[in-house]
Amino acid sequence: MQHPELFPKIDRPRRLPDEIAKNISSAIEAGQLKPGDRLPTEQSLSDQFGVARTVVREAISLLKYDGVIQARQGVGAFVTEARQRSAFRISPACFEKRKQLVQLLQLRTGVQADASALAATARTVGQLAGIESFLQEMVSAIAQGDDAVERRVDAEFAFYRAITEASSNDYYVEFIGMIEAKIFENLHSVAVKNAKATEWGTAVLAEHQAVFEAIRAGDTEAARKTTRDHFERAAQRLADRADIADV
Amino acid sequence: MQHPELFPKIDRPRRLPDEIAKNISSAIEAGQLKPGDRLPTEQSLSDQFGVARTVVREAISLLKYDGVIQARQGVGAFVTEARQRSAFRISPACFEKRKQLVQLLQLRTGVQADASALAATARTVGQLAGIESFLQEMVSAIAQGDDAVERRVDAEFAFYRAITEASSNDYYVEFIGMIEAKIFENLHSVAVKNAKATEWGTAVLAEHQAVFEAIRAGDTEAARKTTRDHFERAAQRLADRADIADV
DNA sequence: ATAAAACAGATTGTCAGACAACTGTTTTAT
DNA sequence: ATAAAACAGTTGTCTGACAATCTGTTTTAT
């Protein structure tokens, strides 16, 4: 990947159903449609939006999938209580405002720290070795200097992914993986830029090493704390640099 | 709600698209379709499943929504890398095997504990009062004895929801709310049965009080620890009693 | 001969209309 | 008056067609 920051993601020609779904969804968030309310009929919606009913149906099926609305054949589609959503997703909008980004990174920090804590007792020797290898990778990448920044960032991701897997809890793997992917997708270039700018090396590396030591020692609380320390600092660095609205 | 445990949830007549989506999804999980593979054409799928193409399209649109597959007009639909899923969901299958349930509750425990930790410093006095009111509600329900078990369980949920909201992090609210709803949906009757059987009262209530004290005192670490303690014990009680396969 | 342009085929995206299945209401039969 | 039957409205499914896009091939221009 070369110069990823030069060609930022473009808005692909959006699919109609996604567009419709977003429209309805934001109408619900805005309170124009409250829980319990009935949606207009599919026919009416397809008229209003000027699209075929199949498109409206796909849109609605997405919202049903997330538990935002519920449809009863012969009756209609209704907005469900806000409580019973059945999926957790991170929209691109989360990366637009600093406050949201900070909150997201806060959640990630906490979960990741827990994963480390679990890994401290659950990890096998094989997994420990795998984790250590990524630490070595980071050391070597740092020694190589600026040319290997990408490699270093990748190793960092891999390091914590290996730790997460060592927690032997599939939900942690899945959840962190999802958040990770979204952060990667939206902030990777920032992370790399950041890594280049930071007096890379000793300071940050020491944070990782502390995490590793805690996991090797099987010290649950230390693993949690060291991981939390690192990610809080990383979040700080990221949020400071990410060029987003300060709201 | 009367005797909810007497009429357990029935299998609603499933919609075709959901069924198809599940089929394809499990084919991917089973490894029959690997990342990068191309799905059969919509025409072919509709032939194989014996349904209309619109149904197949709705199914595929769900999988696209979760980032499991990606479609390119004129080319086909492809299975994406496992990394870049864009939603975290809890399927009913999670409650079928004890191991999975334990892992899920473990995740919940960790996140909830973090939320408490945040609430310890972020809560306003108003929020603190709200939290305390639910504690009072529990006390009064316990005093009332077995008749008020439902009320007590509800208050318990509300207590921790209030704490989560006091974390002033929307993602915690959303995420925990989602997990909560799923647990409620699948294990509420067990939780109630459990509450009835437990020597309700002093022991469990003391756990909640410890959490509240920590939050009142603004002690981050104590809030995390006490919350973790309670939920670990609760998970223990729940998993012991939940009548599910021991795998 | 080589490169550009046009073409053909396949596949997803959208459209239009019809009927089936279900629900709540109204009308009818007893 | 009560129960059964007809009715109208809505979601669920089916069918067939066309539009938009991509890939690979063939034709054409130079």
Name, in order, each residue with C-beta under 8 angstroms of A141's C-beta and a sequence gap of 6 or more.
A148, A149, A151, A152, A155
The minimal CB distance from A61 to the residues B61, B83, B106 is found for B61
Estimate the crossing angle of helix A220-241 against helix A170-197, to 10 degrees.
Answer: 50
Q: Which of B195, B197, B214 is nearest to B157 (CA)?
A: B195
Domain-located, residue B109 = yes
Residue indicated by tokens 């990342």: B35
Does a structural domain hold residue A246?
Answer: no
**How confident is the model at residue A141, as a pLDDT?**
84
Give the structural domain span for B39: 16-84
Question: Taking CB atoms and an 8 Å limit, are A17 and B170 in contact across chains?
Answer: no
User: Which residues are within 7 Å of strand C by their Cβ atom?
Assistant: A 15-17, 50-55, 58, 72-75; B 13, 39, 41-43, 53-54, 57, 60, 71-77
Domain match, B144 and B168 both? yes
**pLDDT tens, residue order, chain B (247 aa):** 433 344 444 444 578 999 999 999 999 999 999 999 999 999 999 999 999 999 999 999 999 999 999 999 999 999 999 888 899 999 888 888 888 899 999 999 999 999 999 999 999 999 999 999 999 998 888 887 667 778 888 899 999 999 999 999 999 999 999 999 888 888 877 777 766 666 656 778 899 999 999 999 999 999 999 999 999 998 888 777 766 655 5
For chain C, which bases have at least one atom within 7 A of a protein Cβ?
9-18, 21-24
- Domain identity same for B53 and B113: no
Residues A58 and A114 grouped into a single domain: no
CB B83 within 8 A of CB A179: no
Q: Quick one: CA dihedral B216, B219, B224, B227, positive or negative?
A: negative
User: 3-state class of A71 per DSSP?
Assistant: strand
| Chain A residues with CB-CB distance to B174 below 8 A | 85, 88
What's the Å distance between residue B87 CA and nucleotide D12 C1'?
26
Amino acid at B150: E
Closest nucleotide over all strands to B46 (CA to C1')? D14
B169 close to A (CB below 8 A):
yes
Residue B54 beta carbon within 7 A of nucleic strand D: yes
Q: Is B107–A170 a contact, with Cβ atoms under 8 angstroms apart? A: no
Q: Per this entry, what is the length of chain B?
A: 247
Q: With an 8 Å Cβ cutoff, are B172 and A62 in contact?
A: no
Is A235 within the bounds of a domain?
yes
A-B contacts (CB, under 8 Å)? 106
C1' (C12) to CA (B241) span, angstroms: 49
Cβ neighbours of residue B173 closer than 8 Å, sequence gap 6 or more: B164, B165, B167
Residues of A in Cβ contact (< 8 Å) with B83:
177, 180-181
Say yes or no: A48 and A124 in one domain.
Answer: no
Same domain, B190 and B71: no
Distance from CA of A62 to the nearest CA of B (A): 6
What is the Cα–Cα distance from A71 to A28, expressed in whole angstroms? 15
Report how far residue B35's alpha carbon sits from residue B78's, in angstroms, rounded to the nearest whole number.
7
From the list B17, B87, B110, the residue facing A111 with the nearest CB is: B110
Instruction: Tell the burial category of A60 from Cβ atoms under 10 Å away from its Cβ (0-12, 13-18, 19+).
Output: buried
Residue B112 lies in a domain: yes
A247 inside 8 A of chain B by CB: no
- Residue whose CA is minimally distant from D14 C1': B52
State the number of CA atoms in the 13 A half-sphere of B207 facing the CB: 18
Q: Are B46 and B55 in contact (CB under 8 A)?
A: yes
In a domain, A5, yes or no: no
**What phi and psi, each to the nearest 5 degrees, are found at residue B72?**
-125, 120
Q: CA A169, CA B112: separation in Å to the nearest integer?
A: 17
DSSP readout, A112-153?
A: HHHHHHHHHHH--HHHHHHHHHHHHHHHHHHHHGGGGHHHHH
Q: Is residue B163 part of a domain?
A: yes
Count CB-CB contacts under 10 A for residue B38.
Answer: 13
Q: State how far the Cα of B22 lies from the Cα of B92, in Å rounded to an integer.
A: 12
A153 and A110, same structural domain?
yes
- Domain end, chosen from A84, A116, A137, is at A84
| DSSP structure class, residue A245 | B
**Where residue B180 sits, what CATH number does that domain have?**
1.20.120.530
Whole-number Å distance, CA B75 to C1' D27? Answer: 24
pLDDT digits (tens, 9 = 90+) for A129-153: 999 999 999 888 888 776 777 888 8
Structure tokens at A120: 């401290």
Render each residue's pLDDT in chain A as its tens digit; 247 residues: 434 344 444 444 578 999 999 999 999 999 999 999 999 999 999 999 999 999 999 999 999 999 999 999 999 999 999 888 899 999 888 888 888 899 999 999 999 999 999 999 999 999 999 999 999 998 888 887 767 778 888 899 999 999 999 999 999 999 999 999 888 888 877 777 766 666 656 788 899 999 999 999 999 999 999 999 999 998 888 777 766 655 5
Which of B54, B83, B182 has the CB atom closest to A86's CB atom? Answer: B182
> From the Cβ of A42, is strand D under 7 Å away?
yes
Q: Are residues A62 and A132 in the same domain?
A: no
Q: Which tokens belong to B183?
A: 């647990």
Nearest to B82 by CA among B20, B34, B32, B22: B34
Contact criterion met (CB < 8 Å) for B110 and A107:
no
Quote the Cα angle for A156-A162-A167, to 5°: 135
Domain count, chain B: 2
For chain B, say whether A111 makes contact (Cβ under 8 Å).
Answer: yes
Is B227 part of any domain? Answer: yes
Length of chain A, please? 247
Nearest nt to A46, CA vs C1'?
Answer: C15
**A115 shares its domain with A70:** no
Q: Are the beta carbons of B61 and A57 separated by less than 8 Å?
A: no
**Whether B20 and B118 share a structural domain:** no
DSSP β-bridge partners for residue A88: B88
Kindly list the distances between the CA atom of residue B239 and the CA atoms of B17, B65, B190, in Å, as whole numbers in the listed order. 33, 33, 10
| Chosen domain end from A84, A102, A123 | A84
Residues 67-126 of A with CB under 7 A from strand D: 71-77
**What CA–CA distance (Å, rounded) separates A216 from A166?**
12
Residues A36 and A145 in one domain: no
Q: How far apart are CA A2 and CA A54, in angstroms?
A: 41
| CATH value at residue B69 | 1.10.10.10
Residue A7 in domain: no
Query: Both B62 and B130 in a single domain?
Result: no
DSSP string, chain B: ---TTTSPPP-----HHHHHHHHHHHHHHTTSS-TTPBPPPHHHHHHHHTS-HHHHHHHHHHHHHTTSEEEETTTEEEEPPGGG--EEE--GGGGTBHHHHHHHHHHHHHHHHHHHHHHHHH--HHHHHHHHHHHHHHHHHHHHGGGGHHHHHHHHHHHHHHHHHHTT-HHHHHHHHHHHHHHHHHHHHHHHHHHHHS--SHHHHHHHHHHHHHHHHT-HHHHHHHHHHHHHHHHHHHHHHS--B--
The verdict on B97 and B149 lying in the same domain is: yes
The residue from A84, A107, A133 where one domain ends is: A84
